[in-house]
Amino acid sequence: MALNVVIMAAGQGTRMKSSLPKVLHRLAGRALLQHVIDAAARLQPDRLIAVVGHGAEQVRSAMAQAAEGLRFVLQQPQLGTGHAVQQAVPELLEPGTTLILNGDVPLIEAETARALVAACDGRRLALLTVHLADPTGYGRIVREGAAVRAIVEHKDASASQREIREVYTGMMAAPTAHLKRWLAQLNNDNAQGEYYLTDVVALAVAEGVEVVAAHPADEIEVLGVNSPAQLADLERRWQRRQAERLMAEGVRLADPARFDVRGRLSCGRDVEIDVGCVFEGHVVLGDGVRIGPYCVIRNAEIAAGAVIHAYTHIDGDAQGVKVGEAALVGPFARLRPGTELGPQVHIGNFVEVKNSTLARGAKANHLAYLGDATVGERVNYGAGSITANYDGANKHRTVIGNDAHVGSNCVLVAPMTVGEGATIGAGSTLSKDAPAGQLTVARAKAVTVAGWQRPRKTP
């Protein structure tokens, strides 16, 4: 039996007041539609279909790699939810079940979607419903006793029907053959002149097909996004859940209301995270790691005992960043893709490191740049020093041996090697190798001009 998943993602989202299609607005660092696609993909459907309309090409382009086998169908013009699903009918496989999800309801869990499919069981029409304290805007579930008899859209509901608190979430599962037949019978005889998907409930009842309801574990799974305020509210709800999960695992958050995970964050024991920190991509924090306030960390592994001081920006991008045990980084440091810091490395304020490795105990404590460099153990890299790694066309590497000392305000013009135990005098610009164990100085001779006077402004 085939499982089809149809995700409705055609709406304009006028209340977002944005040129960006609603389903591409981001929650927790990912597009709303990407969240739904990820949940659907975990069901391993035989067909995964997104119905696009407003900004269709933009949505297709953004979601082209969202999931293997994802298909797009166009709804143009947008004439309601039933019309949207009608566009997917040629793609639906039979026999089997069709699950319908909403691209602007991002936090649906795969387990809930799976339970909805199970409730359908290839025989029944299964609706995902929830009880809300404020059901405004949602279609109401009308029952006779325990049996579901209809869904009435909010704008078409009577005063008494608007008192109903059980609402339809926009998600259902239906036997595919039945669904195709019901879709063909829809009409637009309603206040909006649209084809409502919810009308299939009355058609199922008329045919004697059982209509059942399933429920999510948490209402957050079924909350939609129609405005910037709703998006912000859902973001904070989602972030609070992540904070509670981490605190339950022993992580100490200075303030769970000022904390953002926009990807995956894994933490060891006794991790401490101060306020205002943002974690993106995949971040791993080892035992005893401490993260200072207002750090941004993306795609990085930080080993046990490391301390990341305030306002540090770590961006691993696709290559990643690794920080070794008991390393100290920041404040105001920047680690870029390809950086690997060994144990007990110190990276201080306003130091930038890119595509470089620093071995155990190396230090760059102030106002420095290390790009495309291999730095040995116990190296001291002076304030204001840089590796000049780019010749205008190609990048070149600098190698600094163990126990070398690079004085302040030096320029190391790559490719070059500083030998083990070498000392580079402050202010030197070197474009050739510096021998091991010796002092190398390259600076102009100081000249004092007797009798020189500073220019003065003319009257």
The mean pLDDT value for 211-238 works out to 95
| Domain presence at residue 392 | yes
Q: Is the pLDDT of residue 146 over 90?
A: no
DSSP 168-222: EEEEEEEEHHHHHHHHHT----STT----GGGHHHHHHHHT--EEEE--SSGGGG
| Structural domains of the chain, count | 2
To the nearest 10 degrees (0 to 180), the angle between helices 56-63 and 32-41 is 50
Q: Which structural domain, as residue segments, surrounds residue 385?
A: 242-440
Tens of pLDDT, residues 45-55:
999 999 999 99
> Who wins on pLDDT, 194 or 413?
413
| Domain presence at residue 348 | yes
pLDDT at 192: 79
Tens of pLDDT, residues 329-384:
999 999 999 999 999 999 999 999 999 999 999 999 999 999 999 999 999 999 99
Among residues 192, 222, 252, which one ends one of the domains? 222
| Domain presence at residue 107 | yes
- 114 and 215 in one domain? yes
Percentage of residues of the chain with pLDDT beyond 70 = 100
**313 is known as an active-site residue:** no
The mean pLDDT value for 136-156 works out to 87
Q: Kindly name the residue from 154, 282, 313, 366 that is annotated as catalytic.
A: 366
Tens of pLDDT, residues 268-306:
999 999 999 999 999 999 999 999 999 999 999 999 999
pLDDT bracket for residue 137 (50, 70, 90): confident
Residue 336 belongs to domain with CATH number:
2.160.10.10
Q: Which residue has the tokens 């409705």?
A: 8
| Domain presence at residue 446 | no
Tens of pLDDT, residues 397-453:
999 999 999 999 999 999 999 999 999 999 999 999 999 999 999 988 889 999 999
- 212 and 345 in one domain? no
The mean pLDDT value for 389-402 works out to 95
Q: Which residues, including other chains, have CB under 8 Å from residue 352's CB and lie 6 or more apart?
A: 333, 334, 335, 336, 368, 369, 370, 371
pLDDT bracket for residue 136 (50, 70, 90): confident
Burial grade of 159 (CB within 10 A; 0-12, 13-18, 19 or more): exposed
Among residues 191, 222, 253, which one ends one of the domains? 222
